[in-house]
Structure 1
Amino acid sequence: MKLNELKVTEINGIGESKSEELKELGVVSVMDLLEYLPFRYDNHQLKDLADVKHEERATIEGKVHSEPSLRYFPRKKSKLSIRVLIGRYLITAVFFNQPYLKKQLTPGQTVTLTGKWDAHKMTLTVNDIKFGLQPQDESIDPIYPVKGEMSVKQVRRLIKLAFNQYGEEVEEVLPKESLESYKLWPRKQALYSLHFPKSFEHLKQARRRMVYEEFLLFQLKMQMFKKINREQSAGEKLHFSMDDVNRFVTSLPFPLTNAQQRVTHEILKDMSSPHRMNRLLQGDVGSGKTVVAAIALFAAVSSGSQGALMVPTEILAEQHYHSLLQLLEPHQIKVELLTSSVKGKRRADILAKLAEGEVNVLIGTHALIQDEVVFHQLGLVITDEQHRFGVKQRRVLREKGQSPDVLFMTATPIPRTLAISVFGDMDVSVIDEMPAGRKAIETYWAKHNMLDRVLGFVQKELDQGRQAYVICPLIEESDKLDVQNAIDVHAQLQHYFHQYRVGLMHGRLHSSEKEEVMREFTENKCHVLVSTTVVEVGVNVPNATMMVIYDAERFGLSQLHQLRGRVGRGSDQSYCILIADPKSEEGKERMRIMTETSDGFVLSEKDLELRGPGDFFGSKQSGVPDFKIADIVHDYRVLEVARNDASRLVNSEALFHEEAYAPLRSFLEKEGVLTSERLD
Structure 2
Amino acid sequence: MRDKRLYPLFQPIDSLPGIGPKLKPVFERLVDGAHVWDLLLHLPDKWLDRRVKASFDELLPGEVATVKGEVHAYKAPYNDRAPHRIQLFDGTGFLTLIFFRADPRWLQGQFPVGKERIVSGVVGEFQGERQMTHPDYIIDPARGEMPPQVEPIYSLTAGLTNKKVHSAAVAALASVESDLPEWISADLLEKRGWPSFKQALSGLHEPAVFDEAAFEICRQRLAYDEALAREMVFAMARTARSQKSAPNLKSTNDDMNAVAAALPYKLTRAQIRAIKEISADLAEPHPMRRMLQGDVGAGKTLVAIMAAVKAVTSGHQAAFMAPTEVLARQQFETVSSLLAPMGYEVAALTGRDRGPAREGTLMGLADGSIQIIVGTQALFQDAVRFHKLGLVIVDEQHRFGVADRMKLAGKAEGPHMLVMSATPIPRTLAQAVHGDLDISVLDEKPAGRQPIETRAVPDTRIDEVIEGVGRAIDRGERVFWVCPRVDADEDDSSAVFRAEALRKALNVPVGLVHGRLKAEEKDAALEAFRTGDSRILVATTVIEVGVDVPDATIMVIERAEGFGLAQLHQLRGRVGRGNRKSFCLLLYRPPLGELARERLDTLRATEDGFEIAEADFRLRGPGDLLGVRQSGAVDYRVIDLKRDADLIPIARQDARFLVELSGGANPKRLEALALLRELLSPLSRNAS
TM-score of the pair, normalised by structure 1? 0.87
Name the CA distance, whole Å, in 2 between partners of 1:362 and 1:28. 42
Corresponding position of 2:540: 532
Gaps of 5+ in 1: none
Given candidates 232, 254, 257, the residue that maps to 1:220 is: 232
Partner of 1:493: 502
Which residue does 1:411 correspond to in 2?
A: 422
Q: Which residue of 2 aligns with 1:354?
A: 365
CA distance in 2, matches of 1:367, 1:535: 21
Q: CA offset at residue 267 of structure 1? A: 1.0
Is the partner of 1:634 in helix, strand or coil? helix
Partners in 1 of 2:675 and 2:560 — Cα distance? 49
Query: Which of 484, 508, 530 matches 1:522?
Result: 530
CA contact under 8 A between 1:548 and 1:578: conserved in structure 2? yes
Q: Output the CA distance in 1 between the equivalents of 2:156 and 2:567.
A: 33
Residue 652 (str. 1) matches residue 658 (str. 2): no
Q: Report how far residue 438 of structure 1 moved.
A: 1.7
Question: Does the residue aligned with 1:174 lie in a helix, a strand or coil?
Answer: coil
State the distance in 1 between where 2:518 and 2:36 align. 50
Q: Distance in 2 between matches of 1:28 and 1:350?
A: 46
Does the Cα contact within 8 Å between 2:43 and 2:154 map onto a contact in 1? Answer: yes
Q: Is the 8 A contact 1:380 1:405 kept in 2?
A: yes
1:547 Cα shift? 0.7
Give the Å deviation of 1:276.
Answer: 0.5
Counterpart CA distance in 1 for 2:268 and 2:628 is 33
- 1:384 CA drift (Å): 0.9
672 and 194 in structure 1: CA distance in 2 versus 1, 3 angstrom threshold: closer
1:502 is aligned, of 497, 501, 510, to: 510
Distance verdict in 2 for CA 1:613–1:230, change over 3 Å: farther
Q: Does the C-alpha gap of structure 1 residues 355 and 548 become closer, same or farther in structure 2, counting only changes over 3 Å?
A: same
Native 8 Å contact 1:502 1:530 kept in 2: yes
Q: Tell me the SS of whatever aligns to 1:204.
A: helix
Provide the rounded CA distance (Å) in 1 between the counterparts of 2:213 and 2:153.
18
Secondary structure in 1 aligned to 2:7?
coil
Distance (whole Å) between structure 2 residues aligned to residue 489 and residue 42 of structure 1: 48
CA distance in 1 between counterparts of 2:172 and 2:384 reads: 58
Letter in 2 for 1:218: R
Cα 1:176/1:257, change in 2 over 3 Å: same
> Percent of pairs identical after alignment?
35
- Deviation of 1:157 (Å): 5.0
Change (3 A) 1:169 1:37: farther
Q: Aligned equivalents of 2:54 and 2:296: distance in 1?
A: 52
Q: Is 2:545–2:574's contact at 8 Å kept on the other side of the alignment?
A: yes
Give, in whole Å, the separation in 2 of the partners of 1:370 and 1:117: 64
For residues 78-135 of structure 1, give each alpha carbon's deviation from its aligned partner in whole angstroms, at most 9, with x where no partner exists: 7222344577554544234554334333357364442143376434343324547899
- TM-score for both structures, normalised by structure 2: 0.86
The alignment partner of 1:651 has SS state of: helix
Q: Deviations over 1:203-229 (max 9, x none)?
A: 232222222112211222222223223
Query: Does residue 195 of the first structure (1) align with residue 205 of the second (2)?
Result: yes
Counterpart of 2:65, as a letter, is T
Q: Which residue of 2 aligns with 1:602?
A: 611
Q: Answer with 540-549 or 243-252: which moved more.
A: 243-252
Letter in 2 for 1:114: G
Which of 409, 419, 433 in structure 1 is aligned with 2:444? 433
The aligned residue for residue 67 of structure 2 is 61
Residue from 223, 247, 250 that aligns with 1:211: 223
Deviations 1:340-369 (A, max 9, x none): 444444444433333332222112223323
1:124 aligns with 2:131: yes
> Could you say which residue in structure 2 is the equivalent of 1:553?
561
Alignment of 1:148-167 (within 5 A): 151-153=161-163, 156=166
Residues 94 and 123 in structure 1, CA contact (< 8 A), matched pair in contact too? no
Residue type at the aligned position of 1:124: Q
- CA deviation profile, 1:163-215 (whole Å, cap 9, x unmatched): 68977445533243432343322223323222333222322322222221122
Counterpart CA distance in 2 for 1:212 and 1:448 is: 47
* Alpha carbons 1:112, 1:129 under 8 Å: kept: yes
2:387 to 376, 379, 385: 376
> Matches of 1:587 and 1:483 in 2, distance apart?
21
2: CA distance, partners of 1:516 / 1:529: 12
CA–CA separation in structure 1 for the residues paired with 2:34 and 2:306 = 53
Partner of 1:635: 644
Per-residue CA deviations over 1:438-458 (Å, capped at 9, x if unaligned) read 222122222221211222222
Are 1:573 and 2:581 an aligned pair?
A: yes
Whether the 8 Å CA contact 1:4–1:32 is kept in 2: the answer is no
1:564 match: 572
| Residues 45-102 of structure 1: per-residue CA shift (max 9 Å, x gap) | 5498778765x2231536347412232876xx77222344577554544234554334
Q: 1:188 to 1:491 in 2, by over 3 A?
A: closer
- Which one-letter code corresponds to 2:404 in the other structure? Q
> Residue 469 of structure 2 is aligned with which of 458, 477, 484?
458
Q: Secondary structure at the match of 1:572?
A: coil
Q: Match of 2:86? A: 82
Does the C-alpha gap of structure 1 residues 292 and 7 become closer, same or farther in structure 2, counting only changes over 3 Å?
Answer: closer
- What is the alpha-carbon distance in structure 2 between the residues aligned to residue 121 and residue 438 of structure 1? 63
Note the C-alpha offset of 1:240: 0.8
